[in-house]
Chains A and B, each alone.
Chain A
Amino acid sequence: MARSLAGFLVLILAISICDAASIFQPISDSHRSAALDLFKPVDGSFASLEETYEALRTFEILGINKKPDVSTATCGTVSKALSSSSSTPKDLFDALRVNSILKCKINAEVFEGIISKLQAAVSGASSLHDFYYSIGSLGLIKDQTSKADLHLSDAEGIFRSIKALSQSDGRWRYSSNNPESSTIAAGVALETLAGVVSLASSEVDQSMIGIVQNDIMKLFDSIEKYDDGAFYFDEKVVNVHEHSGPLSTSSSVVRGLTAFTTVATGSLNLPGDKILGLAKFFLGIGIPGDSKDFFNQIDSLAFLESNRVSIPLILSLPSTVVSLTKKENLMVKVNTVLGSKAPPLTVKLVRAYSTSSKDTSIIENKELSFDPERVVYFLDALPDSVDVGSYIFVFKVVLHDSERKDVYVTGTLTHVQIFLTGHVKIGNAEIAVLDNDLGTIETQRKLDLAGENAVSLSANHLQKLHLSFQLTTPRGSAFKPHQAFLKLRHETKVEHVFLVGNSGKKFEITLDFLGLVEKLFYLSGKYDIQLTVGDAVMENSLLSEIGYVELDLPEAPEKAPRPPPQAVDPYSRYGPKAEISHIFRAPEKRPPKELSFTFLGLILLPFIGFLIGLLRLGVNLKNFPTSSVPATFAILFHVGIAAVLLLYVLFWLKLDLFTTLKTLSFLGVFLMFVGHRILSHLASASSKLKSG
């Protein structure tokens, strides 16, 4: 139960935190290091020109000097891509983008060929991407080769044909023949239109630009919002193509928007908070793990910083935890998204209030003083009334010179949650064993919860265990921590957690063992006592082993609940299991070789004896038939027997049963035949001999 309540508390805490607006740190060195890890060239170049461009662009924005040198390898691929006739507008576009950073030496006639090809492509283009790549390439060529005479012949027509793809809600379609409209396409289209306008030979009709700006406004109506003031675009239809998360969508919109606003003359009054929200969105992502996302984030942040409409300023805090006991100051930084310096301004603390009570504000309208060398604004002194706890500080950024107000967007108010921590004093803690009936104290110990304790108590089931202590904040008021638990752990690792309740400033818990025997599973013996007091704002949260209590509880009745099995820790459960060792039968002991050989020799002895005996008995072959036919039969007979024995040897050596049996059947028939012949001949001979 206690654990569940703890969970509940934690949950409430989480909710309260995300209630408050969280703060965004601008781009910092962590991004730079991450960029170096993410964009790693494999053997001197990146996989594709597109990646190369992303990598180089990111390095350029972040101002990384010790970037990996890929120029030599890449320039080759760039020039190849440019000079090859089979390269699509996309390849050209990527190549030119890379070239715009690397400034490779490409001779002019290459560009001539490309230009003509691209012009054709533009005039023949139907889908949005064709327009985008070809026109983008033309723009890049125009920048790289200072050719003033590079114009789109029919800018108006192209503009119209692109505009024809737009939808009523400000979004665009990729091509006229696929109906579904996407936000990314809008960004692409805007960028393309910007390119068209910049390439246009003559001034583009303002009305059309106005229409496009109108579209942009409509597009911004479809912007979505997180609860922490971050704005972002997202595709209505997911998976239009692969990179269609909110990040890539918003970044494409931002690119298009900024590009268009740079070329469009007429002022476009976008709501500054939305620009700021977009910035917050990109910053809130932190450091994405994917190189594509990383590029999108950094690139669009760069566009936001360098755009003409409104440059967002980000108010950030080095630390949101301020210790009262150490007398720390609350510091505030204000930067642009990429962390560069902000124009002179002042930061006001509009008000600060505790998260628990919103209406009672502790500080009103206080101006933070500026520290020029650390470029931070700090709140010099908190009033004494402020106690430990979590507060919401509301800041406001005011620019000094008012004509740049429309350039920079600062946002109206920034809510920040600040934790004011402090050292909480733990007073007159004591643990006691009371008798049950009338609370007479049997044994009582003082505790120093900050230090070490080794209390040893003993109690039976008729007694109570009583623990009490006080918590006071640095300001001397009572303090109520989030967690105050008492844990009893039996030798058999069976644990019980009790919530320490408080009355006023005094925390106390009384364990009545008579009521607890059931819960303790009738387990007598040594229980370790552990006290947990913890809070986010409590600098000296403690988890201290107080000591142990020796309990003797009555014998368990028949149907007493068994103590639950101890939960195995997840690492052992999901970790590698112990290796199974297979047990094989030990090989039989073999005799020494020479012994076997001697016996082999011995085996031969009887055989030799047999032969000798034969010689001594004088074997005679006079029975052997003399006439030719029976002789041959006799020989065949012996040959057959020999063959069968040889077959047996083969069987022993390699043959299997069935082949052996087959051969044996043939041999057997043969043997039977010749054997019958010879033996009958012998029999007749012997009978003749007998008779005669």
Chain B
Amino acid sequence: MAAAAETSSDRTLRNAFGSVLSFFILLLIGVLAFSIRLFSVIKYESVIHEFDPYFNYRVTQFLTKNGIYDFWNWFDDRTWYPLGRVIGGTVYPGLTLTAGTLWRILNSLNIPLSVETVCVFTAPIFSAFASWATYLLTKEVKGAGAGLTAAVLLAMVPSYISRSVAGSYDNEAVAIFALIITFYLYIKTLNTGSLFYATLNAIAYFYMVCSWGGYTFIINLIPMHVLLCIVTGRYSSRLYIAYAPLVVLGTLLASLVPVVGFNAVLTSEHFASFLVFIIIHVVALVYYIKGILSAKMFKVAVTLVVSIGLVVCCAVIAVLIALVASSPTMGWSGRSLSLLDPTYASKYIPIIASVSEHQPPTWPSYFMDINVLAFLVPAGIIACFLPLSDASSFAILYIVTSVYFSGVMVRLMLVFAPAACIMSGIALSQAFDVFTRSIKFQLPGISGKSEFDAGDTSSSSVVAANDAAKPDKSEETLKERPSRKNKKKEKEQVEKASVEKASTKSKKEKRLLVLPLEASVIALLLLVFLGAFYVVHCVWAAAEAYSAPSIVLTSHSHDGLHVFDDFREAYAWLRHNTEVDDKVASWWDYGYQTTAMANRTVIVDNNTWNNTHIATVGTAMSSPEKAAWEIFNSLDVKYVLVVFGGLVGYPSDDINKFLWMVRIGGGVFPHIKEPDYLRDGQYRIDSQATPTMLNCLMYKLSYYRFVDVDGKGFDRVRQTEIGKKYIKLTHFEEVFTTHHWMVRIYKLKPPRNRIRGKTKKSKTKTSATSSSRKSVARKKNPWH
């Protein structure tokens, strides 16, 4: 910090000092990012969280046990009975491979950690990496100060915490890191224009493709940026070097991932990149010719080349259009379509719509997830616009698109969060920059104050430290061509260059931006308060809101803390009390957990690749008991598992999800009609409920014997008394109900083996035989 006060004479020492300082700050940021995500482990225990992580955990176990080649062609017969599922070909292997490699490395170092532990702590580790990657990216965009600020912000942005607390072992945990590092490498290549970074960029993109389906965001965003640059006439051969190899290598690498495969060239999520690839070649040709020709000849050339280029482009576009039209669903998979057209999913794919994280977010959720950043983002955008460089234009594009996508789907807040962090990091650092400088120019004495204020948000210190490095950057981005090369030379030269620039510049700034002292001090204080508020909010979110592993629940009540461990209780019961190859039917949310924790075969699970199968289960759940029994028996299901929160007030139970079962089931089997379950348009389970509702299987299984608890069967989730209190099950029998009734397991009764007519006959026969017994008292000769 003292470096900030140093005069410009010994700038080298100061700069070295600043770099070391920033290094330590980065280290601290990493620690912060890691440790803020450990609340879940501290408050609960080191468990895998909700649903998908359990699948990933299971896959990782398989990988560590059987090796990678078995993993590639692993056909899982424990799920989607009787279809089964080809895991190796349908899963994004990045997360699994990462954790598996971590585990292997640790074991080879004789650090005996269990696979589960490694899985639990993968997400925090990668969030630390992600914050460092953010630093690098923002540094490329707007210098180190902004980088540090952005890194700090990202280290504790709630929406990212929500997906990467210890134990939430999900693709996004590593995907965000991959996303940011890919963007960083792209920008880096764009700035340096070296093939080396282009290669790294392609590899990072490969990692992203391995990790998450969201890679289409990258492969669409980067071409958009390239197109933007071309259109705004900022084409440079660095752009070509940054883009063209990425497309070729990236496409090849992407098609190496089994789950993507040939989609990388066949589906139209990727066509944009190819189109831009062609365009950039045309443009490159144009620029080249322009370069080697004289002006007047170029006039002539333009006419020809442009016309030819146009022809070529039109042809290619026509081809692409044809391809898109030919490919199914216009070549766009359902999720991408629901991205472009927010109402698409709810219209066509109830499965996608049924997932809460695919719903559009609400404004409070914005505030909850990226608290004050929401206000800082516009400032950041403005800061990016002056001066506009390739990198900053990319950042702007990134924020704009991600804002749109996050508006479509809640889970894409995750993509939006890094952009917001970068933007607000830029904004904060610029603001601090301006204020501190104005203070410094007015009275150099108090400049210690700024540092004292700035001390809270550890970033601002380095903002002060590197403020001199920034203006020349911002200026060299103004007229890039000459100044670019400075970055290639040694630091000395950079500093030298920046020295005189800064000195010349600072003279200007004396006149230019001088704010009144009080104003700047107050503004600084306000900014610090803002940051403090942000930190408080993030810590609260990490501690309270996002660290609950929905497998173990707690509730505070007047008489202390209650822990509901019913899920694991139920799964343990299944694991210990049922045959190994029994089939358990439940709604698909619980499929992964059942296979992972109870090791039983399930009918449907959370990767919803077969809508019909899920619809079958939904139909069974929403049909009357006998029909349901027949459906389940045809799937030779032995046990049915329902989740019921009515006793303890656990809101996300099957009764609340029931309408989705009806919709999904009705989507395939039209005899299930949603209106039958709604009493004049509203969903109710009390005495006003429709008879269809009261007789459907889900209702019966949920409320069976519920009235015995309190005399009147009061559902604490729906806050009402249930409509049908005394329920009699004929085809199912209750075999297990957990302590708080949250999971109830029923067994299908074996089919009745005689029908009435036969029983009557057999009765007469028995009577006859008995009479005959009387008549034949003696022993009969068996030989006659």
Contact = CB atoms under 8 A, between A and B. Distances in A.
Interface string B19-57: 000000000000000000000000000000000000000
A116 B783 CA distance: 47
B622 to A, nearest CB: 22
Contacts of A230: 781
Nearest to A658: B68
A285 B69 CA distance: 67
B764 interface: yes
B776 A18 contact: yes
Given A3-B761, A4-B761, A11 B768 contact: yes
Contact of A7 (B765, B776, B780): B765
Contacts of A7: 761, 764-765, 768
Given A226-B779, A227-B778, A4 B784 contact: no
A11 B781 contact: no
B769 A11 contact: yes
A284 B764 contact: no
Max chain A CB contacts within 10 Å: which of B69, B776, B779, B784?
B784
B254 to A, nearest CB: 17
Nearest to A16: B775
A284 B765 contact: no
Interface in B750-784: 760-761, 764-765, 768-769, 772, 775-776, 778-781, 783-784
A299 B780 CA distance: 25
B764 A8 contact: yes
Interface in A280-321: 284-286
Nearest to B769: A11
A224 B769 CA distance: 24
A343 B776 CA distance: 36
A286 B781 CA distance: 12
Nearest to A280: B781
Nearest to A4: B761
Contact of B765 (A4, A225, A227, A228): A4
Contacts of B781: 22, 226-228, 230, 284
Interface string A24-62: 000000000000000000000000000000000000000
Interface string A219-235: 00000111110100000
Contacts of A224: 779
A286 B783 contact: yes
B784 A22 contact: yes
A126 B768 CA distance: 55
B779 A227 contact: yes
A285 B772 CA distance: 24
Contacts of A11: 765, 768-769, 772
A583 interface: no
B768 A8 contact: yes
A15 B784 contact: no
B780 A18 contact: yes
Contacts of B780: 18, 226-227
A284 B784 contact: yes
B196 to A, nearest CB: 12
A4 B760 contact: yes
Contacts of A15: 772, 775-776
Nearest to A9: B768
Contacts of B783: 284-286
B768 A12 contact: yes
A285 B784 CA distance: 8
Nearest to B758: A4
Contacts of A69: none
Contact of B784 (A3, A5, A228): A228
B67 to A, nearest CB: 10
A11 B779 CA distance: 17
A226 B779 CA distance: 6
How big is chain B's contact interface, by range?
Answer: 10 to 19
B105 to A, nearest CB: 15
Nearest to A283: B783
A570 to B, nearest CB: 16
A672 B764 CA distance: 95
Given A18-B780, A285-B783, A8 B765 contact: yes
A19 interface: yes
Contacts of B761: 3-4, 7
Max chain B CB contacts within 10 Å: which of A5, A227, A285, A286?
A227
Contacts of B69: 656
A19 B784 CA distance: 12
A230 B783 CA distance: 11
Interface in A50-106: none
Contacts of A1: 760
Interface in B517-570: none
Contacts of B775: 15, 19
Interface string B497-529: 000000000000000000000000000000000
A296 to B, nearest CB: 14
Contacts of A5: 764
A227 B776 contact: yes
A224 B781 CA distance: 11
A18 B764 contact: no
A224 B778 CA distance: 11
A1 B764 CA distance: 9
Nearest to A15: B772
Interface in A220-258: 224-228, 230
A162 to B, nearest CB: 33
Nearest to B765: A7
A4 B764 contact: yes
Given A4-B760, A22-B784, A225 B779 contact: yes
Contacts of A656: 69
Contacts of A3: 761
Contacts of A227: 776, 778-781
Interface string B48-81: 0000000000000000000001000000000000
B201 to A, nearest CB: 19
Contacts of A284: 781, 783-784
A228 B779 CA distance: 9
Interface in B668-714: none
A277 to B, nearest CB: 11
Contacts of A228: 781, 784
Contacts of B760: 1, 4
Nearest to A224: B779
A417 to B, nearest CB: 12
A15 B780 CA distance: 11
Interface in A345-373: none
A230 B772 CA distance: 21
A228 B780 CA distance: 8
A12 B778 CA distance: 16
A537 B413 CA distance: 92
A564 to B, nearest CB: 8
A15 B774 CA distance: 11
Nearest to B762: A4
A650 to B, nearest CB: 18
B100 to A, nearest CB: 13
Interface in B273-290: none
A443 B344 CA distance: 70
A225 B779 CA distance: 8
A227 B784 CA distance: 11
Max chain B CB contacts within 10 Å: which of A4, A12, A22?
A4
A350 B301 CA distance: 137
Contacts of B772: 11-12, 14-15
Nearest to A228: B781
A14 B775 CA distance: 11
The 8 A-B residue pairs whose C-beta atoms are closest, nearest first, are A227-B778, A226-B781, A4-B761, A284-B783, A15-B772, A4-B764, A8-B768, A11-B768
Given A14-B772, A18-B784, A227-B779, 5 more contacts: A15-B776, A18-B776, A22-B781, A228-B781, A284-B783
17 contacts: A4-B761, A5-B764, A7-B761, A7-B765, A11-B768, A15-B775, A18-B784, A22-B784, A224-B779, A225-B778, A225-B779, A226-B779, A227-B776, A227-B778, A227-B781, A284-B784, A656-B69
